[in-house]
Amino acid sequence: MRIIKFISLSLFFAGLLYGGFYVYQELVGKKDADGLQLISADAIFVLETQKGDEFWQNLTSQPFWFNLQEIPSISAADAQVSAFSSLLEGFQSFPDLLRGKKMTVSLHPVGKDDFDLLFTLHLKKANEKDFLNYLEANLPELSQINERMYSGVTIKEFQSLNLDRNFSFTWVGDVLVGSFTSFLVEEAIRHSQNNSLSSFKMVYKPLFQTKVDHDGLGILRISSHGFARLIEGLSKNQSQPLDQLFSKNILMGNYAIDFEEGEIVLIGKTLFPDTSVIPEVSSEKFEVDQFVSNRVASWVSFNLNTVTNLNFFENQGFVEKNTVKGDIEKKLFENGFMDQLEGQLLLLNFEKVGNNPLDKVLLVKTKEQAKQIDLLKSFNPALGQSNPSLGSVDFFEGKEIFVLAVEEFPGHLFGGKYLGFPDTYVTSLDGFLVFANSSKALKLFLNDFSSTNVSRQVYYRNPEQVIQYYLDIPLSWSTLIDISAPSWTPFFQKYTKNLQSFQSLNISFQDFSSNQFNTTIRLGHQAAVAKSEVRQDVFLTETKSLTLPATLIYGPKRILNFNDKSPEFVIQDENYTMYLVTKDMEQVFSKNLEGPIVSEIYQVDYLKNGKLQMIFATNNQIHIVDRLGNYLAGFPVRPVQEPITHLNLVDYNNDRDYRYFIGTSEGNLWLLDRVGKPLDGWNPKEISAEPVVPPAHRRIAGVGDRMIALSKRGELYFFNRRGEPEVGSPFRLGDALHADYAIIERGNAKDTRLVTVTSGGEVVQVNFNGELTYRNQLEKEDRDTRFMLVKDQKEDRYLIATHSYNRVTFYDESYQLLFYKEVVSEQIELQLFIFGGDKSLIGLLDKEQEFLYLYNLQGDLLNAMPISAAEKMELVYAGSQNEYLIYTISGNKLAEYRLPF
């Protein structure tokens, strides 16, 4: 019995203590409720501040804020705060209400692809809380406040015809909690009543144990899991590599936020709580600007002491293939491959073009470049084959390119950090191994590296920093549109101009200690500048010119001076006199020819001594002359008895054992050796009609050699080097062809495509297996409409254009309308120049009036008055001077113009 009494008393007092504790929690404890404890763990981010007044005033005074006003949710928020401030005027000012009060703003998922904010505000003094009573007594017209109960707590809902949604709010102790999503307010109440629920502060304790040294307007706290939820909601593909990177790995950060001129700046700590590796900065600076061209939309660099330091962060979301990993360990790791790598790595993501996959290039610093290349070749047995034409090896810009047909090779090599490489194309450059996810990407990179198309404004602060990430937001916009969820795509498209007030994102990781990096994040912005249809201030005038004795009929064609790498120009007059002219308009030589030049001007190192000669064709002969106008021994030659219409240069293995690929008016193809004699199998090869454009040789690593010809009767021919037709060749594309073609180069014969447009207006694509992969009929304005495919100067990107009598219409690579221009002319020629980003222009030549008009890709006229031109222009991109140099012929004059950009 005593035991029973003891147990009963114990239960009574336990119940009394529990009840007292419950009453205390509900009646007293809640007075000191922490707004951070009310925020659920699923928050994308939490912004904590006691300077809410300064934060709001700084935010709304930034240039980008005015650009965002066209977005309904932003303009509504601004209007609501203004209305709220007006209502408060009889009580206190809005800044006074926020000043010195602890406030949080957190973003939460409220649906599969929807998010909303939760606000908390600590108001301990009774008179501070009276503002709600004041507001309720002074509600604006067409507004009301309703009440409902949730879990014993009164929730009030503000309704107004001026609001699309109701605003819910309640008190939790001294904390005012509010949101436009009532569910978030209810969730805050649940967290106040149930300590077992996971709050943001509980789950991410390290964030609240880490001190932020910088004094800002507030602290932004974010976790990788929260960021992954944001990506999931915005993306159409839930298995995005970026999503997997953040959802499967633990990162978090605290950053003091501030506003500087042209930038939102966050300075703080980024935590890697699971790492046991201490990344150390390299003693060498990593100057990345030499590799970053205008077409690079984003890049990330690592400047580590050793490549093994890269293991401070392992991508747990990457699933290795055991067979690939085993081969890498056996053929590379056991042979010391990683020992020869240094800790400087640079990943370049190019601007996305149309529906094509995103091009990527990865550079890795190495101590033994040649040895590393040999190891990589030995990894792929196909590279041991003696015949490179079988498809494993290609040559470009003097570099050998080979392919590793291994899915995600860099990902397996570096712990899942570099993904998006279905195949890997490899070369070497200045002490770096270069990996690309397509042969096209690698060739573009090499071309940019060797040209002046390299940006000098890379926007990084310090080459000694451990990690740097840079994102050009306008250049990355097409990628954002491509991966965005259907519910978000219209929003991003509609408000592109407004959202692109944010120009760049730069993240720098400095010294590392205690599992955290000192971090600086800069979000660059600028006010939108209205662009007029015509740049009235740009009247292009001649800056240099050369007058010759007779009317010019050919050129200018740019070549390279092999002595000083400067541009020079080939022209020809009506008397068939050929001239070479320097960029300073000085004549190098003149030479009489027997007829008009009918081909491009190609440069060859015929004598293999580093000096370049010029090869070209007239109707009857092939000519090779040196820079002083002297013929090489054995030239000119007359290889065939038919009029030559086209000439192309072929150098299979980059060994200067040249071949000359010619087409004739009779519809015959000839392949000639380096002295101009027909080769077996090509004497001649008949096609159905005269070629539309020069027959060409294409070798693509992973595909092999193709000899390509397109006839005016609408047939596409694929031959091998011996002149034997590939299976299915010729391919009937249409009844007639008069347009050029472009090669969309990817990693294999199935994905690499040739695209052209027929005379009837059908866009057709054929892959290198000979399969028709796409056919689409474009709009035909009248029966005389002419269809053109216009390639850029690198033969990488293209536009489709239609020409009726009085209109030229341009379509992008997705065949969406870009713009149209009224042009009353029956003879026009078009050119396209793309140097990345907004450094692009279209040349429209009216041959009847000899006027040249320049447009950007938005259709804005760049020169207020047309330039005089009889033939297509030659354009030199002068990035260091921020201008284009334009060269044209008109009458008997060669002229230079300068167009700023």
The DSSP annotation for 553-613 comes to EEEEEEEE-TTT--EEEEEEETT-EEEEEETTS-EEEEEE-SS-B-S--EEE-TTSSS--E
pLDDT of residue 475: 86
Three-state secondary structure call for residue 216: coil
Cβ–Cβ < 8 Å for 342, 432: no
Going by C-alpha positions, the residue among 589, 682, 675 that lies closest to residue 627 is 589
pTM of the model: 0.82
Tell me how far apart the terminal alpha carbons of the chain are, to the nearest angstrom. Answer: 98
- The contacts of residue 229 (CB under 8 Å, 6+ apart) are 42, 44, 109, 247
Mean local confidence (pLDDT), 598-620: 95
Please report where in the chains the tokens 């260091």 appear, as a residue.
880
Crossing angle (nearest 10°) for helices 369-379 and 322-331 = 140
Residue 206's H or E segment, with its range, is helix 205-209
pLDDT at 266: 92
> Are the CB atoms for 393 and 401 separated by under 8 Å?
yes
Q: How many Å apart are CA 821 and CA 799, to the nearest integer? A: 15
Structure tokens at 470: 């840079």
Query: Which stretch of 446-460, 509-523, 883-897 has the lowest confidence by average pLDDT?
Result: 446-460
Lowest mean pLDDT among 66-70, 450-454, 611-615, 846-850: 450-454
Range of weakest confidence among 231-240, 345-354, 587-596, 775-784: 231-240
35 vs 242, higher pLDDT: 35
Pick the more confident residue, 316 or 595. Answer: 595
**DSSP character string of 84-130:** HHHHHTTT--HHHHHEEEEEEEEEEEEETTEEEEEEEEE--SHHHHH
| Whether the Cβ atoms of residue 514 and residue 250 lie closer than 8 Å to each other | no
Does 622 score more than 60 pLDDT? yes
Compute the distance between CA of residue 521 and CA of residue 505 in angstroms, rounded to an integer. 7
Phi, psi for 404 (deg, rounded to 5):
-110, 105
Q: Which of 213-217, 238-242, 780-784 has the lowest mean pLDDT?
A: 238-242
Euclidean distance between CA atoms 82 and 122, whole angstroms = 21
Q: Does the structure show a pLDDT above 60 at 529?
A: no
Give pLDDT, residue 366.
94
CB atoms within 10 A of CB 260: 9
Average pLDDT, the chain: 85
Task: Please give the average per-residue pLDDT across 884-893, as a whole number.
Answer: 95
Six-digit token pair at 865? 């008055």
| Average pLDDT of the residues in 456-480 | 75
Q: What is the mean pLDDT of residues 5-23?
A: 37
Higher pLDDT, 860 or 7: 860
Dist CA 324 CA 318 (whole Å): 13
Confidence of residue 251 (pLDDT cuts 50, 70, 90): confident
Measured between alpha carbons, how far is 177 from 155 in angstroms, rounded to an integer? 10
d(CA 437, CA 426): 9
pLDDT number for residue 14: 37
- Distance between CA atoms of 585 and 896, rounded to whole angstroms? 9
**Which of 479-487's residues contact partners 24+ apart within 8 Å by CB, and which partners?**
479/297, 479/349, 479/352, 479/358, 482/352, 482/355, 483/235, 483/236, 483/237, 483/240, 484/234, 484/235, 484/236, 485/113, 485/233, 485/234, 485/235, 485/236, 486/236, 487/113, 487/114
For the chain, the 3-state helix, strand and coil shares in percent, each to the nearest 5, are: 25, 40, 40
State the pLDDT at residue 457.
54
Higher pLDDT, 869 or 252: 869
> Is residue 847 a contact partner of residue 828, using CB atoms and an 8 Å limit?
yes
Instruction: State which H helix or E strand residue 56 sits in.
Output: helix 52-60
DSSP output for 58-85: HHHTSHHHHHHTTSHHHHHHHHHHHHHH
Q: What is the DSSP string of 481-503?
A: HHHB-TTTHHHHHHTHHHHTTEE
3 has pLDDT over 60? no
Q: What is the pLDDT of residue 83?
A: 66
Instruction: Say if CB 559 and CB 567 are below 8 A apart.
Output: yes
pLDDT confidence tier of residue 530, bands split at 50, 70 and 90: very low
DSSP alpha helix (H) spans, 333-468: 369-379, 409-413, 439-450
Whether the bond into 63 is cis, omega within 30 of 0: no
Distance CA 655, CA 600 (A): 21
- Mean pLDDT: which of 173-182, 291-300, 612-621 is highest? 612-621
Give all strands of the β-sheet with 587-592 in edge-to-edge order.
552-560, 567-573, 577-582, 587-592
d(CA 861, CA 151): 65
CB atoms within 10 A of CB 752: 22
Report the relative pairing of strands 659-664 and 644-650 from DSSP bridges.
Answer: antiparallel
pLDDT of residue 455: 55
pLDDT of residue 898 exceeding 50, the answer is: yes
- Tell me: pLDDT of 349 over 50: yes
Q: State which H helix or E strand residue 682 sits in.
A: none
- Predicted local confidence at residue 225, as pLDDT: 81
Bridge partner list, 104: 48, 120
In this predicted structure, the answer to whether residue 474 has a pLDDT above a threshold of 50 is yes
Q: Which residues lie below 8 Å from residue 187, measured CB to CB, with a gap of 6+?
A: 40
Query: Does residue 463 have a pLDDT over 70?
Result: no
* Per-residue pLDDT tens digits for 809-838: 999 988 889 999 998 888 999 999 988 877
pLDDT at residue 26, as a whole number: 41
Rounded-to-integer distance, Cα 233 and Cα 236, Å:
8
How many whole angstroms separate alpha carbon 74 and alpha carbon 451?
44
Percent of the chain with pLDDT over 90: 43
* Higher pLDDT, residue 606 or 701: 606
Q: Counting Cβ atoms within 10 Å, is residue 164 exposed (0-12), middle (13-18) or buried (19+)?
A: exposed
Cα→Cα distances 231→225, 228, 621, Å? 10, 5, 62
The beta-carbon contacts of 704-707 under 8 Å, at least 24 apart in sequence, are: 704/389, 704/390, 704/391, 704/749, 705/389, 705/391, 705/652, 706/768, 707/661, 707/671
The per-residue pLDDT for 799 is 94
User: Cα-flanking dihedrals φ and ψ of residue 156, to 5°?
Assistant: -105, 145
**Partners of 172 in the beta sheet?**
175
* Cα–Cα distance, 583 to 564 (Å, whole number): 12
For the chain, give the percent of residues with pLDDT over 70.
88
pLDDT at 69: 83
Query: What is residue 662's predicted lDDT score, i.e. its pLDDT?
Result: 97
From the list 712, 594, 596, 708, the residue with the least C-alpha distance to 661 is: 708
Lowest mean pLDDT among 379-388, 573-582, 734-743: 379-388
pLDDT tens figures, 856-866 = 998 999 888 89
CA distances from 601 to 52, 94, 679 (A): 67, 72, 23
Among 258, 210, 412, smallest CA distance to 323 is for 412
Can you read off the two tokens belonging to residue 686?
Answer: 């008949």
Mean pLDDT over 310-333 rounds to 84
- For residue 874, the cross-strand partners are 887
